[in-house]
Structure 1
Amino acid sequence: MSTTRSALIIGGGIAGPVAATALHKAGIHAHVYEAYSGPSEGIGSGLALAPNGVAALDLIGAGDAVREIALPVAQMRLRVGGREHVMPVLADQPPLMAVDRGELHRALHDHAVAAGVAFSYGKRLSHVDEHPDGVTAHFTDGSTATADVLVGADGIRSTVRGLIDPAAPGPDYTGMLGFGAMVECDLDLPDDTMVFAFGTNAYYLYWKLADGRAVWGANLPSKQYLSLTEARALPAEHWLRVLRETYAPDSPGGEFARRTTAENLEIAGALHIMPPVPHWYRDRIVLVGDSVHAPSNSSGQGASLAIESAVQLARCLRDIPAPTEAFAKYEQLRRNRVEGIAARAAKINHSKTPGPFARRVMNAVMPLMVKTVMNPEKTMGAERRYRIDWDAPVRAESVTAAP
C-alpha cells in the first residue's frame, strides 16, 4: 500500500491539473501552486491532442470536456510550394483534436476544481526543504506548503528540475519562433482537415473552423533567441511586418499574414525541444510534463505525452509504497517512449525550410514517400495506439531507484 497521502504540484498549465486530478482519483490529496496571478490562459496558441492523449484524459473524466472545445481533424494534407498531397491516416484511430491552448488550460483547470483539487496563484517556487517524512516548498512571497511529495509540472524552464539536479540540461532552441492567429478567410478546405505547408521562406500549418474562420500557426526561422517575454516585449506591429514579408510569396500563407491583426496575433516566442534529462527525480521530488520531456511541436505529441506522464505518475504513487521506488517505476514506464518521440520530431525540424530545389524534389518523390517513410503505420502507429490501463496494478519489480 502506498505511503503517499499528499502532493504539492508546482505548475498549473497542462500537466499540473492532470496530475492533480489523477492523484485525487488515486486517493492522494493534491494542491496546485501556480506562479502566475491566475489561471495560465493565453500562453501560446493552438495545439493538437493525439488519440493517446485524449484517451488518457478519459481516465480522469476530462476527455468529454476537451472534445467539446476541440475540432476533430480526421484528414491531413502536405502542401509543398503550390502543390498539395493527401496524407494517409490511421483508419483505426480517432481523429486528432485541435484546440486552443488557453481553452484547454481552462477546461483542465475547471475539471480539476470540480474533482476537488485546490489551486493557489502567485506562488513562485524559490527552494525546497526535504525531511524524512515529507517535503516543504518555499515560495517567493514568504509562504510555505508541506506534503509527502512534490511534483514539478513547471514547464520547460522548470525551477524544480534545477533543484533536483543543478547540472540538468535546459531546453534547446529549435531556431524558430512560434506565432498563431484565427483569421477571417475564405478557405476552400474541409472542416476536418489540417494542412502542413512548406512555404518559400518558412513553414506553417492551418485548418478551418466550423464557423468559417481559419486557424494558422507560423514557425518563423530566427537566429536570435527570444523567450515568450522577450518576443512579446516587441510591438505586435513589428511581428506583423516580419510575418507578412516572410509569407508574402505563399498561398494561402500570405493571405493569413495579411489578415492577422495586432489584436488577434498570438506570440509564443522561441520553440524548444528538451534534450534527455539525466535525473527525473530525487528522494521525494519528481518531474512531469515539459519540465522533463518536451518534444518539439513537430511531434504532434507534446501535450499528449505530458498528460500520459501525469496519469502514469499517479498510478505509480497509488500502488508502490515508497515514493522513490514509485518515481523509479514511473521513469521506467515513460523514458523510452518520450525520448523516442522527441528524436523523431527533431528529424522533422531539419526539413522545415527546404529551398526551391528541395521543394521540387519533395513534390516529385512525395507519392513514394507517402507509401514508405511517411507511412503513418510506421511513423505514428505505436505512438497513437498507446493506452494506459488505469485499473492494472503497478509493481516495482526489476526497478532500481536512481542514486
Structure 2
Amino acid sequence: MYSHIMTIDRATTALIIGGGVAGPVAAAALARVGAEPIVHEAHAGPADQLGAFLTVAPNGLAALRAVGMVERVRAAASFATTRTEFVNGNGRRLGLLGDESQLAPELRSVTITRAALQRVVTDAAIEQGVSFEYTKRLRSYTDDGDQVTATFTDDTSAAGDLLLGADGIHSAVRQTLSPDAPQPTYTGLLGIGGFVPAVDIPATPHETVRMVFGARAFFGYQCEPDGRTFWFANLGNSERSVEEIAAQGDETWRAHAFELFDGDLVELTRIMEAADLGQFRPKGTYDLLSLPRWHRGRAGLLGDAAHAVSPSSGQGASLAFEDALELARQVRVHGGAPAALAAYERARRDRVERIAAVGRRRGAQKAGSAHPIALAIRDTSMRMAFAMIRRFGSQRWITDYRTDLADAHQEIS
C-alpha cells in the first residue's frame, strides 16, 4: 500500500496492548512497513470521556505527519499554542518562548483534549487498515522464544511475533516484562482545570498560553478567540489516593485552590470563579524516569509504559509518537526478531530519559514558597534561563527532532 517505504520480507504480527494515543499511532507506523498490527484495548471503545488537555509539540506533529495523521489532529485541536509567556504572580514577565520560525505551518504546536486526540488517531488508524479489538484487558503474556501469546481477562488469547505495551504509566505489560521495575514516582503536584465560558479578563495574546508562577502554586491558561478559556493549575501537595481525594470533597479542594492563588493575578480568581465544581477535583501527577529494561525477548514497551514524563515537560504524547516511528523502522530492518526491540530501545533511551529529567526539574519550580526571598531568587533565575533559551535556542534539541520511517532520525543541536 505504501510503495515509497521499504517493507520487511515476511509480515510481522504485532500485538499492541493499549488503544490510547500511542497504540494507534504505533499500529499505523507498523502497517506502513508491512507488519500486521492488531490493537487490543481494555475498554469498550475510545475513551471519549477523557477531558484532560495536552500539547502536541512540533516533534510530535512531525511523527504524526509521517503516518498521515497530522492534518486530522490539527483540525481536532482546540487551538494553536505557538508561544508560551511566563509571568510571576504579580504579572511580571519572566520569559517568552515560541516555536522556531522555520517550522512548516503544520508543525506548529497545538493544544487538544486527550479524548479528541485518541479518537482522531484511532479513526485514522482504522482507515489505514489497522484492526482493533475492544474489551481485551491483558492478564499476562508468555514468550516461548518463537512467538509471544497474550492472555486476556475474558479467557481469550492472541499470538504474534511481537507484543508491545502501549498501556500507559500503570502498564500491565510492564508488570509481566519486568515485575521488579521501579514504580511511577509522584511529582509532588496535584492537577486541576478544564474549560470555562468567556470571562471578563484580558485575552491572552494570539496563540499564546500564559504560565503563572504564583507565590504558592502554578497556573496556566489560554483564551480562545470567542473568549472561552482553557485553564489548569498545579498544587503542591502530599500524595493522595483517588479515594482520599474524593473523600476530601470538591468544595474543599475549590476553597484550597482559591486560597493558594489569593494575592496573585486577579485573572486567576476570575477564571476559577467561572469553573464548574468538578474541575477542582485534582489528580496526582507521576513520572517514570528510567527503567532497567524496555524489552525482554519478544515483548517491549513504548510511550508512558516505558518512560512517563511529567506533564511539565509538554512532551508525553510527542515522545510516544516518536517511539512509534522508531519502533516501526527497527521492525522494517529486523522483522519480528527481538533484535528489533533491542535496537529501538538503544535508539530512544538517552533522549527520553534526558527529557524526563527536564520535566521533573520544571515541575519542582511550580510549588512556590512561603519565603519572599526564595521567590525573588526563583524569578531572577528563571528570567536568566529563559533569556538564554531565547538567545541560544537550547530547547531545539527537544522540539526540532524529526522522525521518518525510511531514514534515520534527524536532531538539530
Corresponding residue of 2:325: 311
Q: CA deviation at 1:3?
A: 4.8
Q: CA deviation at 1:280?
A: 0.6
Corresponding residue of 1:69: 76
Q: How does 1:173-184 map to 2 (within 5 A)?
A: 173-184=186-197
Q: Could you list the per-position Cα deviations for residues 365-393 of structure 1 after superposition, in whole angstroms to 9, with x for gaps in the alignment?
A: 55533322x44745311111111132227
Is it true that 1:117 corresponds to 2:130 in the alignment? yes
Is it true that 1:336 corresponds to 2:350 in the alignment? yes
Paired letter, 2:151: H
Secondary structure at the residue paired with 1:138? strand
Between the two proteins, what is the percent identity of the paired residues?
A: 36
Q: CA deviation at 1:74?
A: 2.1
Secondary structure at the residue paired with 2:307? coil
Corresponding residue of 2:3: none
Corresponding residue of 1:401: none
Q: Give TM-score scaled by structure 2 length.
A: 0.88
Q: Partners in 2 of 1:75 and 1:302 — Cα distance?
A: 18
Q: Could you list the per-position Cα deviations for residues 329-385 of structure 1 after superposition, in whole angstroms to 9, with x for gaps in the alignment?
A: 10111001001111112111221123232333344555533322x447453111111
Correspondent of 2:52 among 41, 45, 51: 45
How has the CA–CA distance of structure 1 residues 242 and 2 changed in structure 2, closer, same or farther, with 3 Å as cutoff?
farther
Q: Is the 8 A contact 1:191 1:207 kept in 2?
A: no
Q: CA deviation at 1:180?
A: 1.7
Q: Could you list the per-position Cα deviations for residues 18-50 of structure 1 after superposition, in whole angstroms to 9, with x for gaps in the alignment?
A: 111111111111111111222123335111111
Secondary structure at the residue paired with 2:308? coil
Q: Could you list the per-position Cα deviations for residues 305-349 of structure 1 after superposition, in whole angstroms to 9, with x for gaps in the alignment?
A: 011001111111122135211111101110010011111121112
Quick check: 275-284 or 93-102, which moved more? 93-102
Secondary structure at the residue paired with 1:116? coil
Q: Partners in 1 of 2:246 and 2:158 — Cα distance?
A: 33
Quick check: 158-167 or 385-394, which moved more? 385-394
How has the CA–CA distance of structure 1 residues 20 and 215 changed in structure 2, closer, same or farther, with 3 Å as cutoff?
same
Q: Partners in 2 of 1:167 and 1:91 — Cα distance?
A: 45
How has the CA–CA distance of structure 1 residues 119 and 237 changed in structure 2, closer, same or farther, with 3 Å as cutoff?
farther
Q: Is the 8 A contact 1:8 1:31 kept in 2?
A: yes
Q: Is the 8 A contact 1:41 1:106 kept in 2?
A: yes
Q: Could you list the per-position Cα deviations for residues 190-231 of structure 1 after superposition, in whole angstroms to 9, with x for gaps in the alignment?
A: 23001111112211211112321110111121113334x764
**Structure 2 alignment gaps of length 5 or more:** 1-7
Q: Partners in 2 of 1:360 and 1:327 — Cα distance?
A: 47
Corresponding residue of 2:362: 348
Q: How does 1:383-394 map to 2 (within 5 A)?
A: 383-392=398-407
Q: Partners in 1 of 2:260 and 2:250 — Cα distance?
A: 15
Q: Is the 8 A contact 2:254 2:280 kept in 1?
A: no
Corresponding residue of 1:361: 377
Is it true that 1:91 corresponds to 2:101 in the alignment? yes
Quick check: 229-238 or 91-100, which moved more? 229-238
Corresponding residue of 1:143: 156
Paired letter, 2:357: A
Corresponding residue of 2:5: none
Q: Give TM-score scaled by structure 1 length.
A: 0.90
Quick check: 160-169 or 179-188, which moved more? 179-188
Secondary structure at the residue paired with 1:180? strand
**Structure 1 alignment gaps of length 5 or more:** 395-403
Correspondent of 2:335 among 321, 331, 335: 321
How has the CA–CA distance of structure 1 residues 345 and 3 changed in structure 2, closer, same or farther, with 3 Å as cutoff?
same
Paired letter, 1:79: V
Correspondent of 1:280 among 294, 308, 323: 294
Q: How does 1:1-400 map to 2 (within 5 A)?
A: 1=8, 3=10, 5-43=12-50, 45-70=52-77, 71-82=79-90, 83-89=92-98, 90-93=100-103, 94-184=107-197, 185-188=199-202, 189-227=204-242, 231=245, 235-251=249-265, 252-262=267-277, 265=279, 269-355=283-369, 356-364=372-380, 367-372=383-388, 374-375=389-390, 377-392=392-407
Quick check: 201-210 or 283-292, which moved more? 201-210
How has the CA–CA distance of structure 1 residues 177 and 11 changed in structure 2, closer, same or farther, with 3 Å as cutoff?
same
